[in-house]
Structure 1
Amino acid sequence: MSDAELAEQAALPDRIKVVSVKFRTAGKLYEFLHNESLELAANDYIIVSLEKGVGIATVVHPPYITDRDKGRVYRRVVRRATEEDVAMHKANLEMEKYAFETALHRIKKHKLPMKLVRVEYLFDATKITFYFTSDGRVDFRELVKDLAQEFKTRIEMRQIGVRDETKLLGGFAPCGRTCCCSTFLRDFAPVSIRMAKEQNLNLSPSKISGLCGRLMCCLVYEHSQYEQALEGMPTIDSEYDDGRIRGTVKKLNPLKRTILVYTHDGKYEEIDLTGKIPKSGAGCSRCHDGKSACMCEHKKAPAIEKAPPADEGDSLAELASLHREKMASLGITEDQASPKIARSQPQEQQPGQEPSAPRSRKRRSGKSSRRSKDRRENKGGERTEQREKKSPTAATGGADSGRNQNFSISRAAPQWKERRSGTVHDHSKGGNSDQK
């Protein structure tokens, strides 16, 4: 940009008058500074100033005033297009066809993995732009040299995506009309599969995909209306309970304001929610916490007051009276009642008698447990002496008598030996003795 252009941009006021134009059908809109000497209307052909040369464009919006964006460069409208300019533009369109065929032949010659989509001539033929698609990067330097030698002008190769390819080529969409992107869409809005789900569309790729193989752009058109219609409606697989019907929500119809509920009885019920949907922020806590789809008409469920705790004595007396009435109705007296029922009745306390303390198991102390152990050992010793007296071998002085005697002594009088000195301590009934 020259110094004169920079000075002109700096001198522009904060509010400027511009004209919106496009260079091709359904092309992007550009703003150019309005020429005050011209009276422009929509669909007029004009000549505008570009970075390198001039170009022919079509007026989309008449001149209007807007705020200046200080980060961009505004160029001016030069003049209105004449008949010679329009004829030159048509001649450029014919040259584009020839350039397209020539480029196809050269691409095949160099065996490049690319698909040529479109060719555009600048108005004064100072530049030719070739649009192509490819899965990856392409080394087209030799191709550019051949094309520049053929057309004697500046060559630009621009790689585009599949959506831009459909926008440039056009075609008929599945609905039967021409593609929206090639007729009136200026930019591509982001489209997600969630939009198709909220509109209850068939999620088959062949049903929701356009000519480019991507999700159709028309899914965005009614998405905002569906979002408003879905406000306050329950979600899929949520629990529904309106006091009359209880079940699980299986399907939504936002436009008709109805839901399909699978009840606990195994039936499907279609419920009209017109007039039942609470406004934003209304409804009970179960309506908006995501766990239930309660469609109650009250904002809050009435609080249930807790009953005061009943007296234990009163409850037992009431149970006893109810029991006696039941027995009397069956013709059974208290004497004929079962022991379990008799024991369940509370015993009356005699006047002047102290209340009996509840029985509880006491844990035995360590001293009592040791006493019982000593008793068991003494009893064991006495039984051993009795067996020794009754044994025939002990009376005859047989060989087994010593063994039995030793066995009985070891039970009645235990012995132990010191490891270092070898002294044997014998604790018999007669006293202590040490042996080596």
Structure 2
Amino acid sequence: MGCASCSSGKDGSPKGCKNNGTCGTDSCNKLTVFDWLSNMELPNGEKPFDVVEVRFKNSRKEFYKNTESLTLQMGDVVATEASPGHDIGIVTLTGELVKVQMKKKKEDPYADDLPKIYRKATQRDIDVWQEAKDREEAVKKRSREIAIRLKLKMKISDIEFQGDASKAIFYYTAESRVDFRQLIKEFAYEFKTRIEMKQIGFRQEAARLGGIGSCGRELCCSTWLTDFRTVKTSAARYQQLSLNPLKLAGQCGKLKCCLNYELDTYLDAIKDFPKFEDKLITKKGKAVCQKIDIFQKKFWYAYEGDYGNWIEIELEQVLEIIEAQKNNDPVESLEDFKAEEPEVKIEANYENVVGQDSLTRFDRPKTKKRKKRRKPNTNPNQKQASKSGQKPTSNQPASKGKKRPPRNKGNKNNNKNTNKNNTNNAN
């Protein structure tokens, strides 16, 4: 918020004027005009300009003549002329800048039929005005119920009571003409006041309701945009955008206002470009434009019947082909003008910025280290020894027969000698 008194509360609403962005002190409103001539004095003999700018609800501004020569400043609450009765508004601009604003809105600064300012608002005027503003939400809810019951194809978006509560303005949106004569009769009987119906556009409705756009920021129409220009689909075509209504439409259901922001830059860039629908005629055949890169000045063409094979050509070459086409001397083919794509060798040179750790250390799953389990002892002697408290003699199982003598290399020779001795004794 612009003023210190409008810091956000617990529920998100401002603590100060509690007007949810439409500041009552006129310091954080999008319609506020900075008076850069406020600290300058007029030359000697010059009278200050006697017309002031007054703001009301729903971005409504009007100009009033200060016939009583009141000392008015920005933010003063004044009682102004209305039909019937009087209205209550806030002064938003005084001095010489009012002339500039009136010329901008094509109004005569010296017209005699300008409405007048009666006085500065008294406390009684402010109390009646505040009571009328407190009724607006309940009246809006009831008016919508009546419109639904009458089956009217319209949406009542907001209500504004006049400062003296003698008249109520109903703002509505509709796609076609609505016959609300019966609706006005029921409104007058229900609310006991004069009724005025005023139709507004869908963009004005979105500006008053507010919201967040697809860019992630607040809507331009509800923060700073005051003049709504028409947006056409040609703005999207010039910027090479796909004609997708879901992406090009805003919360109001119309084309986004931001499509006009860069349109002048694109129009200035393509002023020397050939038309998108123009075909290039060569001896090989006709080529159709498939894509344009405006800022790099590149075109992609494809021959008729071979739309999958795109040929990239620079803007200067396209103009050269068109000039040869006009002179009845078409070129051989587009391949002669095809831009050579430089070979780019990509060497995989990765550096380990983590030290000695592997760059793929997080890709491999972690494995838990399992502890080796000891094999259980199956020796019965060892089990018996452990039960009796004796130490086992050996881990090998006990043999039933005699133990075999260990083998040695000299056993064969000894056996031969014994066999010879036995034969000699027998002889």
TM-score by length of 1: 0.49
Q: Which residue in 1 is equivalent to 2:160?
A: 120
> 1:297-330: CA deviations, max 9, x gaps?
xxxxxxxxxxxxxxxxxxxxxxxxxxxxxxxxxx
The CA RMSD over aligned residues, in Å, is 4.3
Alpha-carbon distance in structure 2 between the residues aligned to 1:180 and 1:198: 22
Q: Does 1:260 align with 2:299?
A: yes
Which protein is bigger by CA-based radius of gyration? 1
Q: Does 1:227 find its partner at 2:259?
A: no
Using the TM superposition, give the Cα deviation of residue 85 of structure 1 relative to its aligned residue in structure 2, in angstroms. Answer: 4.9
Structure 2 residues not aligned, in runs of 5+: 1-47, 332-427
**Residue type matched to 1:179 in 2?**
L
**TM-score normalised over the length of structure 2:** 0.50
Distance 2:54 2:266 in 1: 34
Show the counterpart of 2:116: 76
The change in CA–CA distance for 1:140 and 1:234 in structure 2 (over 3 A counts) is: closer
Residues 16 and 33 of structure 1 are in contact (CA less than 8 Å); yes or no, is this contact kept in structure 2? no
Structure-1 residue corresponding to 2:312:
269
1:195 and 2:227 are equivalent in the alignment: no
SS of the equivalent of 1:145 reads helix
The answer to whether the Cα contact below 8 Å between 2:57 and 2:160 also exists between their aligned partners in 1 is: no
How much has 1:50 moved relative to structure 2?
2.6
Residues 153-188 of structure 1: per-residue CA shift (max 9 Å, x gap): 212233444344334433333333333333433343
Determine if the alignment matches structure 1 residue 24 to structure 2 residue 24.
Answer: no
Query: More helix by proportion, 1 or 2?
Result: 1
Of 126, 129, 151, the residue aligned with 2:169 is 129
1:55 to 87, 112, 126: 87
User: Which stretch of the first structure deviates more once superposed, 84-93 or 198-207?
Assistant: 84-93
The SS at the match of 1:117 is strand
Amino acid at match of 2:252: C
Q: In 2, Cα distance between the equivalents of 1:40 and 1:270?
A: 63
Hey, what's the Cα distance between the residues in 1 that align with 2:311 and 2:201? Answer: 47
In 2, the alpha carbon distance for the partners of 1:83 and 1:102 equals 30
The sequence identity of aligned pairs, in percent, is 31
1:345-369 Cα distance to aligned partner (Å, 9 max, x none): xxxxxxxxxxxxxxxxxxxxxxxxx
CA contact (8 A) 1:100 1:119 kept: yes
Question: For residues 47 and 171 of structure 1, what CA distance do their matches in structure 2 show?
Answer: 33
Q: 1:120: Cα distance to partner? A: 1.3
Q: Which runs of 5+ in 1 are unaligned?
A: 1-14, 295-436
Q: Which residue of 2 aligns with 1:353?
A: none
Secondary structure of the equivalent of 2:95? strand
Q: Which amino acid aligns with 2:160?
A: E
Counterpart CA distance in 2 for 1:131 and 1:166 is 13
**What letter matches 2:299 in structure 1?**
L
Q: Are the aligned partners of 2:299 and 2:315 in contact in 1 as well (CA < 8 Å)?
A: no
Cα separation, 1, equivalents of 2:292 and 2:128: 58
Aligned 8 A contact 1:263 1:269 in 2:
no
- 1:34 and 1:63 in contact (8 A); partners too: no
Matched to 1:218, the amino acid is C
How far, CA to CA, are the matches of 1:77 and 1:277 in structure 2? 66
Change over 3 Å in CA distance of 1:145–1:270 after alignment to 2: same
* 2:292–2:300 Cα contact (<8 Å) kept: no
As a proportion of its length, which structure holds more strand? 1
Deviation by residue 1:376-403 (Cα, 9 ceiling, x = unmatched): xxxxxxxxxxxxxxxxxxxxxxxxxxxx
Q: State the AA in 1 paired with 2:51.
A: V
Task: Check conservation: 2:128, 2:165, Cα contact below 8 A.
Answer: no
Q: Using the alignment, how far apart are the partners of 2:126 and 2:218 within structure 1?
A: 26
1:205-242 CA distance string (max 9 Å, x none): 1011122222122222222222222222333254689x
Q: Which residue of 1 aligns with 2:250?
A: 210
Q: Secondary structure at the match of 1:99?
A: helix
